[in-house]
Structure 1
Amino acid sequence: MVDPVSSGASSAEFRHWWNNERFRGVLYQFLLMAMVAGIGWFLVANTLTNLNARHIATGFGFLDREAGFGISEHLVPYLPSDSYFRAFEVGLLNTLEVAVIGIVLTTLLGLVMGIARLSHNWLVARLASAYVEAMRNVPVLLLLLFCYSLITVSLPLSRNAFNLFDCIFLSNRGLRVPAMIWDDSAVMVVSTLALAVAASFLVGVWARRRQEKTGRYFPVLWSSLGLIAGLPLIAFLATGAHLSFDVPHMAGFNFAGGSTVSPEFAALLLGLVVYTGAFIAEIVRSGILAVSYGQTEAALALGLSRMQVLRLVVLPQSLRVIIPPLTSQYLNLVKNSPLAVAIGFPDLVSVANTAINQTGQAVEGVSIIMGVYLAISLILSFLMNWYNKRVALRGGR
């Protein structure tokens, strides 16, 4: 027989815990995690069962096997006899190359167009507005196809290529330029260049702190350029390095030698930069308008030119508004880069598709793609959030 006293005490204790908001929150989160884990286990188990029923191999062991296919563009040495892992590495480096160069160029384009939209010159402002409105309303895939068609159709064949100084050739096969050939002393020059970049960063930090304490300005830009250009040159001369060039030349129906900027790479980079730059232009324009015009009037009253007002007063304050949405546009540029498969550029997705078609291991291939893009996005978000905290206003305690 149930004791009514103990039953009533248990009910009261349960109501006591249930009325606790913290307890309910922990319980709901635990139930949600259990439900997600259950669904994940069901999907994984069902996928493995179906793969085994169809006698499809699972796991990432295929990465050690010979790839057996060529990749037209690679930043590191690659042969068809290399492994699938090496092929994925080449595709990843191609993706990172597009992402890094694209972010730099689209930032510059967006900054210029955003400022141009606020120009007092009627023609400049209208042209910038037309660019922004046109690019924001065109699908990015269509823009990539247009850029690729424009490059391949408007440029001449290799035998009729535009010739500059008998060493630079531009045709529908791409841009051919001389390639530098270094000897063993190149390691010292590259190491000195990395040291110069680090020294330039430290100079910038020192100059900012010095200006905050004394108000005295230090020419960081020219000092950094001097370090980056001067130190490697000194190392080059001191080590007696020998530098020669591999000049491109016509061989058959195409050029041989030198370095090539392919039409696929140029079209992909041009399309992504022009498309994303339109969105960044609007972000820059809104960030500048968010700064009170009284700041501009005060700076002009102190005798600063309009360019100095923009560079020293308006833009530093507008960064607090610009950085958060700018991060999203950087991520969009990276996530739009897989559209390279439409124009034949061998990025990570293109290489993974070839590997999937040869091995049949679609789950592993897609997992690699998702993991890589997730890692790139998280790293980029972390860096941008770190920079956003540096430029954010800090209230007093």
Structure 2
Amino acid sequence: MTMATPEPVRRMRPRSWLTRERLVGLAWQIVVVGIAIAIVAWLWSNALHNLSVRRISTGFAFLGREAGMPIADAWIAYSPKNTYLRAFIVGVANTLRVAVIGIVLATVLGTIIGIARLSSNWLLSRLAAVYVEVLRDLPLLLQLLFWYVLMQGLPAARAAWMPVEGVYLSNRGLILPSIPLQEANLWVIAMAAIGLIASWLLNRRLVALHLADGRPRRLWPWALVLIVGLPALLSWILGASWTITLPELRGFNFVGGVTLSPEYFALLVALVTYTSAFIAEIVRSGIQAVHIGQWDAAMALGLRRMFVLRHIVLPQALRVIIPPMTSQYLNLTKNSSLAVAVGYQDIVSIANTTLNQTGQAIEAIALIMAVFLTISLGISLFMNWYNARIALVER
């Protein structure tokens, strides 16, 4: 009896990654990248040739020359005898002043309007809906010009409106009381900021304990000590002065206090109101994305409606809200470049003046692009980090 010879086992050879299709795709990618590099090199060479023919020097050496341009609204010490580099720094500070304050105010106002749209009060929800629809449908530049013309139509300084003691509103801008800040004051403010962070962390801990055993715990005594008590004690030890300086009318203008120029105030109001309308819709849709059963279960446990909104619904809605909210923050930052329409001297306005004075067009435009790219990337990185931090973690 003969035994059947078993067939030899065929070994499967690993498939090579370098297939014909991949080689063709890689070749096309190399060709496209090469063409793009060639186009950029040609444009750069052509620009250098044209600049050389017109005897225009290239490079950033002009930043060390005297600027000679006045900047009316500067929170950083500046004079026309400073360099162009100093002028650009002032422009970046002015842009950040609009972007940061605008993002904070637009977020607060947009959240309030978005929650108001879901209110059971018919009049409140309709007013919020009208606010959103009107401001979203009007061009931002038109709104900016409206607020600027409105500021210019206010009475002169001698007949300024005074809605609150020490606060004046005129065609000179919004004038507010101020507190001169010294080193001791800055230490006290830093202590208060640390107290706010500690109170936020403590609040998270107390909420977790409340959800675990059902016993509510008061935050305000601890927050009062951390935010008010410790800074007040440090202020007494350092001898910090908190004297409020009230603006006074002298001649045709105000002396003392803090003045928000008409250009800055109009730009800030336009950006905040316009962006808050979009943020309101994002907040509304985010809250509605949370299942209604979350509300029913929380109300069945006897929790207050505001507590449910703050600690149950909004934390879940943030996972829907944060990505589109990031886009609105970026839009607000980039829309601040419309400041040139009302004469507010941000980085774009100062770069345009520098371009006209020096002829360094490529360098000026490159600086504008670098500033907005840096700010936008910073906002995106922070919001992406926050979005990843609040994301649901699968177990």
Q: Contact (CA 8 Å) 1:185, 1:241: kept in 2 or not?
A: yes
Question: What amino acid maps onto 1:150 in structure 2?
Answer: L
Helix, strand or coil at the partner of 1:303? coil
Task: Summarize the alignment of residues 186-335 of structure 1 with structure 2, pairs less than 5 Å apart.
Answer: 186-200=185-199, 202-203=201-202, 223-224=222-223, 226-335=225-334
C-alpha distance in 2 between matches for 1:394 and 1:166: 52
Within 2, Cα distance between the matches of 1:191 and 1:16?
58
Match of 2:54 in 1: 54
Indicate the residue corresponding to 1:176 in structure 2: 175
Alignment correspondent of 1:74: 74
Partners of 2:165 and 2:299 lie apart in 1 by 51
- Structure 1's unaligned 5+ residue stretches are 1-14
Deviation, 1:65, is 0.9
- For structure 2, list consecutive stretches of 5 or more residues without a partner in the other structure: 1-15
Q: Deviation at 1:199?
A: 3.7
User: Which deviates further from its counterpart, 372-381 or 309-318?
Assistant: 309-318
The alpha carbon displacement at 1:161 in A equals: 1.3
In the superposition, the TM-score normalised over structure 1's length comes to 0.87
Question: How far off is 1:160 after superposition?
Answer: 0.9
329-338 or 207-216: bigger deviation: 207-216
2 CA distance for matches of 1:286 and 1:387?
20
Q: Which residue of 1 aligns with 2:45?
A: 45
Q: Give the direction of change, closer, same or farther, for the CA distance of 1:118–1:40 in structure 2 (3 Å limit).
A: same
SS of alignment partner, residue 55 of structure 1: coil
Q: For residue 107 of structure 1, what is the amino acid of its counterpart?
A: T
For residues 29 and 213 of structure 1, what CA distance do their matches in structure 2 show? Answer: 57
Shift of 1:56: 0.9
Secondary structure of the residue aligned to 2:179 is strand
Structure 1 range deviating more: 357-366 or 157-166: 157-166
Any conservation in 2 of the 1:110–1:280 contact (CA below 8 Å)? yes
C-alpha displacement of 1:348 = 1.1
Question: Whole-Å Cα distance in 1 between the matches of residues 205 and 149 of structure 2?
Answer: 49
Answer whether contact 1:182 1:244 (CA < 8 A) is retained.
Answer: no
Q: Is the 8 A contact 2:179 2:245 kept in 1?
A: yes
Q: CA deviation at 1:249?
A: 2.1
Q: Which amino acid aligns with 2:52?
A: N
Provide the secondary structure at the position in 2 that maps to 1:170: strand
Question: Which residue in the other structure is 1:6 paired with?
Answer: none
- Output the amino acid matched with 1:175: L
Tell me the equivalent position of 1:10: none
Identity %: 50
Alpha-carbon offset, residue 263 of structure 1: 1.6
1:181-221: CA deviations, max 9, x gaps?
24553343344345435544554565577678777766567
What is the deviation of 1:35? Answer: 2.6
Preserved contact between residue 199 and residue 226 of structure 2 (Cα < 8 Å): yes
1:238-267 alpha-carbon deviations (Å, 9 max, x no partner): 112234444322222111222112221111
Q: Deviations over 1:361-388 (max 9, x none)?
A: 1111110000110111111011111111
Query: What residue is the counterpart of 2:3 in the other structure?
Result: none
Q: What residue is the counterpart of 1:144 in the other structure?
A: 144
Quick one: distance in 2 between partners of 1:226 and 1:41?
63
Question: Which residue does the alignment assign to 1:9?
Answer: none
Contact 2:156 2:171 in 1 (8 A): yes
Separation (CA, whole Å) in 2 of partners of 1:81 and 1:321: 50
CA contact (8 A) 2:174 2:265 kept: no
Counterpart Cα distance in 1 of 2:372 and 2:218: 38
Residue 86 (str. 1) matches residue 86 (str. 2): yes
Alignment of 1:112-191 (within 5 A): 112-153=112-153, 155-163=154-162, 167-191=166-190
Distance 2:177 2:253 in 1: 15
SS across alignment from 2:79: coil
Name the counterpart of 1:19.
Answer: 20
Seen in structure 2, the aligned counterparts of structure 1 residues 216 and 80 have a Cα distance that, compared at 3 Å, is farther
Q: Does the CA-based 8 Å contact 2:136-2:274 persist in structure 1?
A: yes
Q: Could you tell me whether the CA contact under 8 Å between 1:148 and 1:263 is conserved in 2?
A: yes
Structure-2-length-normalised TM-score: 0.88
